[in-house]
Amino acid sequence: MPDRNETYARLTGLIEPFNKKDIELSEATTFVGDLEWDSLTVMDFVAEVEDEFDIIISMNLQAEIENVGQLADAVLKLVD
Amino acid sequence: MTDLLSKFDPLIEQRRALLDTGLTDPFSLVMEKVHSPTLATCNGRETILLGTYNYMGMTFDDDVIAAGKKAYDDFGAGTTGSRVLNGTFFHHRDVEAALREFYAMDHAMVFSTGYQANLGIISTIAGKGDYVILDIDSHASIYDGCKMGDAEIVAFRHNDVDALEKRLKRLPADAGKLVVLEGVYSMLGDVAPLKEMIRVSKAAGAMVLVDEAHSMGFIGENGRGVAEDQGCIDDVDFIIGTFSKSVGTVGGFCVSNHPKFEIMRLVCRPYVFTAALPPSVMASSAASIRKLMHGGNKRAHLWENSKILHAGLRDLGFRLGTQTPQSAIIAVIMPDLEKGAMMWEALLHEGLYVNLARPPATPAGMTLLRCSLCAEHSAEQVTQILGMFETAGKKIGII
């Protein structure tokens, strides 16, 4: 089982280049609400995460992920 | 009471702001009279049509109209029923025969629209536990087909063969997989690298569906589309197409060589639970498809038009969606929605209709003026069109 803290750190690292408004990140930071990402940014970011962890995050699953903490949990589950 | 329509307030406000500037509404144009595939009267003004999907100009073809009129007289105005009950007339079977001849394939199934063809086939063949892998810039009908079905949906970057291959390799080897591609992407008019994409899809054990809506009749030696042009049509499991573009009528279809394909007629809900098209439309469509098989000269003229318009617009200083002309669609990229709407209106005043396309239909948040050419546009009309773009572009300050 990969370490959650490490996964979370890798994810926040991936978020940074897309975090144009320098929003302070936490588990509860939402992608659409707080980071104000449009669907194109979401798509680019998802592709980055998929390649970084060598996983697939289907659009069905994306629809259930709203914040950074949920993404970390989902990625952990997929990597496992 | 919560007003369920309040979720559309931002869009209502955006439209109001745009129309308050005094601009004509780009989304409520009425053609008062249509004179030919390339000419109509709009707001009392004679207008060259450069924003229809009438690529091969079949809407006014004498044989197409005559076939429709005869079917109207012989079979009546409508079917009043589903294809699987009382809605299959002689002409529904005949147009499916015409499609089998056109594509040289074993099976053809006609839907009431192209939208329903994608909706029906995708949602029916990809079920629970299966995967649909699609290009992120796919048409709304493909996305809606995915939404209606129970499969897992995986998107990859537009026309990116590596991104597709990587994702295919990450999926369970034994899971059912459907890769959904389009021959021509209708917003920018760019063509997909189908040969490579189909190669990696087949290597991963996926079935392939290609939507050739914007290439039928025009691209490929026999007008079968981009897959034919790239020499990989035999590896495509399902081709989706429409009658509302090159064929010049309305309707959608799927053609396939799959030996079990006919079962679709019983299990595909958007085929079963809707009324069959009127016999006149089917007869016109069959006549049109059979004529398109011999449309070599028209195809050549349409390519000429596309090349001249693309080069002309580029030389005038417009930013275009593709470096080279790849299809009958040439997209002119506008700086923003407001400028796009102003340019659209200025062109209409010049006597030219093009499509104004905006997000979310467009990729990367772009506002586009989409020009779609017709084989019936004369060389003089194309010259005229370029003159109109020059006048309007200078007036709005885009060039």
Residue B255, H or E segment: strand B252-256
State the smallest CA–CA distance between residue B11 and chain A in angstroms.
16
Query: Chain centroid to CA B167: how far?
Result: 27
Select from A56, A64, A75, A78 the residue whose CB has the most chain B CBs within 10 Å, as the one to mutate to test that interface: A56
pLDDT average, residue stretch B100-111: 98
Tokens standing for residue A56: 């697939």
Select from B132, B153, B164, B171 the residue whose CB has the most chain A CBs within 10 Å, as the one to mutate to test that interface: B153
CB B250, CB B52: distance < 8 Å? no
How long, in residues, is chain B? 399
Within 8 A of B136 by CB-CB distance, chain A residues are 43
Query: Does B5 reside within a domain?
Result: no
Q: Are B283 and B302 part of one and the same domain?
A: no
Select from B128, B133, B136 the residue whose CB has the most chain A CBs within 10 Å, as the one to mutate to test that interface: B136
Mean pLDDT score across all residues of chain B: 96
Alpha-carbon separation of residue B289 from B97, B302, B319 (angstroms): 10, 17, 35
Closest CA to B250 of B143, B114, B358: B114
B163 contacts A54? CB cut-off 8 A: no
Q: Looking at the predicted structure, is the pLDDT value of residue B82 above 70?
A: yes
Closest CA to B101 of B332, B292, B275: B292
- Vertex B269, ends B264 and B275: CA angle to 5°? 105
| Residue A31's pLDDT band (cuts 50, 70, 90) | very high
Per the listing, tokens 């959608």 go with: B252
CATH of the domain at A10: 1.10.1200.10
Tokens standing for residue A42: 């979401």
Q: What is the pLDDT of residue B363?
A: 84
Domain extent at residue B318: 21-56+296-396
Query: Does B6 reside within a domain?
Result: no
Instruction: Give me the percent of chain B exceeding a pLDDT of 70.
Output: 100
Q: What is the pLDDT of residue B365?
A: 85
Closest CA to A46 of A65, A33, A27: A65
3-state SS string over chain A? CCCHHHHHHHHHHHHHHHCCCCCCCCCCCECCCCCCCCHHHHHHHHHHHHHHHCCCCCHHHHCCCCEHHHHHHHHHHHHC
CATH of the domain at B164: 3.40.640.10
Q: Are B258 and B309 part of one and the same domain?
A: no
Provide ipTM, 2 decimals: 0.91
Q: Are B265 and B374 part of one and the same domain?
A: no
- Chain B, residues 118-157, CB within 8 A of chain A, namely 131, 136, 146, 152-157
Q: Are B91 and B210 part of one and the same domain?
A: yes
**Domain final residue pick, B257, B292, B327:** B292
Q: What is the pLDDT of residue A29?
A: 97
**Cα A34 to Cα A68: distance, rounded to the nearest angstrom:** 11
Tens-place pLDDT, residues B278-293: 999 999 999 999 999 9
**Domain final residue pick, B249, B276, B292:** B292
Per the listing, tokens 């042009």 go with: B229
Chain B residue closest in CA terms to A44: B157
State the smallest CA–CA distance between residue A52 and chain B in angstroms.
12
Select from A50, A59, A78 the residue whose CB has the most chain B CBs within 10 Å, as the one to mutate to test that interface: A59
Q: Are B368 and B266 part of one and the same domain?
A: no
Q: Are B163 and B249 part of one and the same domain?
A: yes
Mean pLDDT score across all residues of chain A: 94
Q: Are B41 and B130 part of one and the same domain?
A: no
Q: Which of B155, B163, B170 sits opposite A59 (nearest CB)?
A: B155
Tens-place pLDDT, residues B358-385: 988 888 889 999 999 999 999 999 999 9
What 3-state class would DSSP assign to B189? coil
**Cα B50 to Cα B371: distance, rounded to the nearest angstrom:** 5
Q: Looking at the predicted structure, is the pLDDT value of residue A2 above 80?
A: no
Give the sign of the dihedral formed by CA A64, CA A66, CA A69, CA A74. Answer: positive
Give me the number of domains chain A comprises: 1
Q: Are B108 and B72 part of one and the same domain?
A: yes
Closest CA to B151 of B177, B171, B173, B170: B177
| Residue B390's pLDDT band (cuts 50, 70, 90) | very high
**Cα B88 to Cα B74: distance, rounded to the nearest angstrom:** 15
* DSSP state letter for B306: H
**Cβ neighbours around B44 below 10 Å, total:** 8
Tens-place pLDDT, residues A47-68: 999 999 999 999 999 999 999 9
Query: Does B199 reside within a domain?
Result: yes
Q: Are B379 and B285 part of one and the same domain?
A: no
Q: Are B246 and B186 part of one and the same domain?
A: yes
Q: Does B361 touch chain A (CB under 8 A)?
A: no
Q: Are B50 and B102 part of one and the same domain?
A: no
Chain A residue closest in CA terms to B135: A43
Give me the number of domains chain B comprises: 2
Residue by residue, DSSP assigns B11-66 as: HHHHHHHHHHTT---TT---EEEEEETTEEEETTEEEEE-BSS-TT-GGG-HHHHH
Query: Does B313 reside within a domain?
Result: yes
Query: Does B171 reside within a domain?
Result: yes
- Chain A, residues 49-68, CB within 8 A of chain B, namely 50-51, 54-56, 58-61
Q: What is the pLDDT of residue A1?
A: 65
**Cα B332 to Cα B350: distance, rounded to the nearest angstrom:** 17
Within 8 A of A58 by CB-CB distance, chain B residues are 131, 152-154
Within 8 A of B133 by CB-CB distance, chain A residues are none
**Cα B339 to Cα B345: distance, rounded to the nearest angstrom:** 10
Written as one letter, the residue type at B351 is G
Q: Which of B153, B156, B170 sits opposite A60 (nearest CB)?
A: B153
**Cα B273 to Cα B111: distance, rounded to the nearest angstrom:** 11
Q: Looking at the predicted structure, is the pLDDT value of residue B186 above 80?
A: yes
Tokens standing for residue B50: 């450069």
Tens-place pLDDT, residues B230-274: 999 999 999 999 999 999 999 999 999 999 999 999 999 999 999
**Domain final residue pick, B271, B292, B313:** B292
Q: Is the peptide bond before B360 cis (omega within 30 degrees of 0)?
A: yes
B166 contacts A59? CB cut-off 8 A: no
Domain extent at residue A31: 4-79
**Cα B51 to Cα B355: distance, rounded to the nearest angstrom:** 5
Q: State the pTM of this model.
A: 0.95
Count how many pairs of residues, chain A against chain B, have C-beta atoms within 8 Å.
Answer: 33
| Residue B18's pLDDT band (cuts 50, 70, 90) | confident
Chain A residue closest in CA terms to B171: A56
Q: Does B172 touch chain A (CB under 8 A)?
A: no
Helices B62-75 & B279-292 angle (0-180, nearest 10): 150
Closest CA to B211 of B119, B105, B326: B119
CB B278, CB B67: distance < 8 Å? no
Q: Are B51 and B171 part of one and the same domain?
A: no
